[in-house]
Structure 1
Amino acid sequence: MTSRTPATRSRKAPGPNQPGRLRGIDAARGLALLGMMATHLLPTFESNANLTPTWIGLTFSGRAAALFAVLAGVGLALSTGKHQPLSGPDLAKARRGVALRALVIAAVGLTLGNLEVNVAVILVHYAVLFLCVLPFLGLGAKSLCAWAAGWILASPVLAYLLRPWLLAAEPPLKLGHNPRWEDLGTPGQLLGDLFLTGYYPVVQWLSYLLVGLAIGRLVLAKALVPVLLLVGGTVVAVTAKAIGVAAIEDWGGLAALEKVVNAPGYPLGSVLQVNLAGLPQDGSWWWLASAAPHSGTPLDLLHTSALAAAVIGACLLLGRLAEWIDLDLLLPLRGAGAMTLTLYTVHVWVLSNFYLKPLPAGWTEDGMYFAHAAVAITVGVVFARLSWRGPLEWLGHAAGQLGRGVLPRPATAGSR
């Protein structure tokens, strides 16, 4: 979605192969998509009594989805003025466009929610995050950094205090499944799940969009900005993770949490390394000291946000290298990254066809993952070469343009 002022209204929006588009951002989005596919298709724990984490779980769990969310904020910043945020009527139009685009994403997510699939679909939460971030679209980088820091610190505490109250309601304000159309009839449960009790709690995950907005408000074309993102993000990510590990393993956190869980033999240490989403986090403030994936604690949000910033910085640097040597090194990633909504939707639909069914003869989990990844990359490359939008990307773009009062163009080559 491209921001237009009266002076540039007749210009053609930059396509995927045009210099106006930051190829590194699309590449980072493609990397996030492949990482999320890995956590969906490959085991994150070994099948043993101790639930030993696999390298997939240790590498991608919590991080791929966070990168996806941070990039959503970056994309919103780039479409609403880049380092000079819109204001006045232009900002109001942009907000309407983002809101209508969010409705399209929500509709896709609610439709996927009707599928039987062993995947926590992010799209409805993603759409709600778009709506929640609307008040912040007119802010500059410094204000957004302050808001992001405050949200990372305060939102987990708020969630820790409110979540037990929501779960104690009768019935509990938690869905236990992906949001779907029929859940609109029980708004209390739906909103409770979306904001606090679900897999991607919006209250904490808004931190990612605020971080992404702050990154997108930087002058990403400057030579030092990607380097600062890479180096600074790496240092902060490593530090946050180290503090979280020390708090749990060396400062008494694990012993305190094992008493709260009160399940002898439960491999809490392994779960804390990979995914804490399915475990109630109440009864001890030590939960907030971990940096466990999907825990939504300050250290988890800080670690994953900083790592996302580092990945974005690295991809931007690779994009510059590709331009310097005149070789499109990032095409496989950026092609897929430019149409993640379509590819993610098809990926979830395909997975639903194998739900509770054995894999086809001769197929392995690794083979299934590489098939999904290869198809995503191939389709992305073809669409990028033809300068086409993905079908759902075009629909979201058209909704955004209508919100801005601009008549959308047909989804033909060069119209991206």
Structure 2
Amino acid sequence: MSSQPAFRRLSGIDAARGIALFGMMSTHIFPLYVPGTAEATEVALLFSGRASALFAVVAGIGLALLTGGNAPRSGRVLRMDRRGIAVRAVLIAMVGLVLGGVETNIAVILFHYGVLFLLALPFTGLRLPALAAWALGWTLLSPVVAFLVRPWVETTVVPADVGGNPMFEHLLVPATLLADILVTGYYPALQWLSYVLLGMVIGRLRLPDLKVQGALVAAGLAAAIGAKLVGSYLLGPAGGLAALLQTPEAAGYPLEAMLDVGVGSIDQGASWWWLAIISPHSGTTLDLVHTAGSAAVVVGICLLLTRRSPRALLPLSGPGAMTLTLYALHITIMSWTDQLVPLPEPSAVFWFQVLAFVALGIVFHRLNARGPLELLTSGASRAARTGLAPEAGSGAGRANS
């Protein structure tokens, strides 16, 4: 079956990407802890870890659609697809390096995003069964590999991370940059490739099928809730939390409260119980399964809501079709906003950007236009895919922009 029908239903995928954008923005703008307490805010409980995971899962869906959807391409056409994806990935990574030089406390994801595209290239020709096996194995094993490799990396590569966002200057210290991107940084590609592979599995399904859309919601709920239940058992009755509280790394930290927001500030030592946590950005198997399951639920719901009318979620799908441009604009705005004295009210900053981005997304949609950065990356991608039929290149470009 041709994958072309999948392209006609991409407004649901764009809507999911829009939710990811606004969710990530909320974690950048609002506090993640209730002021004066160790209690997580509602924004942290809802979006921390989940929004960026959704962004990565949808990226994987886009890669699958770019390479044939439920009928993966092969041979010469696949090689063309891979060239186009590689060029797109490099340009996205370059945008990430530019934004890395902006004065901000936000962990910019775009350089990692581009690297993940490159890492996913060998998997783009796989059919669903083989791809699902790789995604499952990577999700189960990559956190264990990272746990075992991280101490060696931290003692061998000095410094072991870039100490912030990757910038052009870090290209001069390739060992440190590689260690940061793959293992020690905020978005370690070793584990985050799991999201992309799981997204590619979703993208290999017959997404226009009502049963598939319903199954995404059901399976996503089962995965997300199941991972939470397993994590609660391991940390509770099984004694994991008590064991971690006895480790020197966790001493002095309100670990139980931090599990809802993130434990990145804690040096996770030799205790295997660290692999049982399900904290945002912890990169454990349970965290990956929970957040990927949550992403599948969002994607399934968005596809269901846009079955009858592709414009049903236009306030989300409009911005979702130009997230590269809007994400870069958001980082730039926040860099300026965070320098203001006094700092503006977070709600005003958030809703101003949301309303502006929704308006921009709708206007660009009505004009049938691309965002500036989307136009750049898709144009360069198409140029690299010489020989691919124009209509296929156009549809695929829309799928992943």
TM class, shorter-length: over 0.9
Contact 2:89–2:118 (CA<8 Å) still a contact in 1?
yes
Contact 2:249–2:268 (CA<8 Å) still a contact in 1?
no
Specify the SS of the correspondent of 2:270: coil
Match of 1:401 among 378, 382, 394: 382
Match of 2:94 among 83, 107, 116: 107
Match of residue 309 from structure 1: 296
Deviation at 1:336, TM superposition (A): 0.4
Deviations 1:175-220 (A, max 9, x none): 1110000000000000000000000000000000100111000011
1:135 aligns with 2:118: no
Deviation at 1:250, TM superposition (A): 2.9
Match of 1:280 among 258, 267, 270: 267
Deviation at 1:21, TM superposition (A): 4.4
Match of 2:40 among 53, 56, 61: 53
Q: Which runs of 5 or more residues in structure 2 are unaligned?
A: 391-396
Amino acid at match of 2:154: L
Cα distance in 1 between the residues matched to 2:67 and 2:252: 52
Specify the SS of the correspondent of 2:337: coil
Contact 2:9–2:306 (CA<8 Å) still a contact in 1?
no
Deviations 1:205-249 (A, max 9, x none): 000010011100001111200000001111111010111122123
Amino acid at match of 1:273: D
Larger mean Cα displacement after TM superposition, 371-380 or 119-128:
371-380
TM-score for both structures, normalised by structure 1:
0.90
Amino acid at match of 1:91: L
Match of residue 109 from structure 2: 122
Amino acid at match of 2:367: L
Contact 2:93–2:111 (CA<8 Å) still a contact in 1?
yes
Match of residue 412 from structure 1: none
Deviation at 1:282, TM superposition (A): 2.0
Match of 1:185 among 172, 181, 186: 172
Contact 1:277–1:294 (CA<8 Å) still a contact in 2?
yes
Match of 2:29 among 41, 47, 51: 41
Contact 1:398–1:408 (CA<8 Å) still a contact in 2?
no
Cα distance in 2 between the residues matched to 1:307 and 1:208: 11
Contact 2:21–2:51 (CA<8 Å) still a contact in 1?
yes
Change (3 A) 1:269 1:83: same
Change (3 A) 1:261 1:32: farther
Contact 1:260–1:283 (CA<8 Å) still a contact in 2?
no
Amino acid at match of 2:83: R
Contact 1:290–1:299 (CA<8 Å) still a contact in 2?
yes
Amino acid at match of 1:372: Q
1:216-295 → structure 2 map (5 Å cutoff) = 216-262=203-249, 264-295=251-282
Deviation at 1:262, TM superposition (A): 4.9
Cα distance in 2 between the residues matched to 1:156 and 1:70: 17
Deviations 1:275-323 (A, max 9, x none): 1233222220000011111000010001111111111000000001435
Identical-pair percentage: 49
Contact 1:166–1:172 (CA<8 Å) still a contact in 2?
no
Match of 1:386 among 367, 372, 396: 367
Match of 1:353 among 336, 348, 369: 336
Amino acid at match of 1:128: V
Contact 2:100–2:166 (CA<8 Å) still a contact in 1?
yes
Q: Which runs of 5 or more residues in structure 1 are unaligned?
A: 9-13, 410-414
Deviations 1:347-399 (A, max 9, x none): 00111113354346xx4111111111111111111101111010000111012
Contact 2:120–2:196 (CA<8 Å) still a contact in 1?
yes
1:198-217 → structure 2 map (5 Å cutoff) = 198-217=185-204
1:31 aligns with 2:19: yes
Deviations 1:20-61 (A, max 9, x none): 242100000000000000000011111224x11001101100
Specify the SS of the correspondent of 2:186: coil
Cα distance in 1 between the residues matched to 2:65 and 2:7: 14
1:149-160 → structure 2 map (5 Å cutoff) = 149-160=136-147
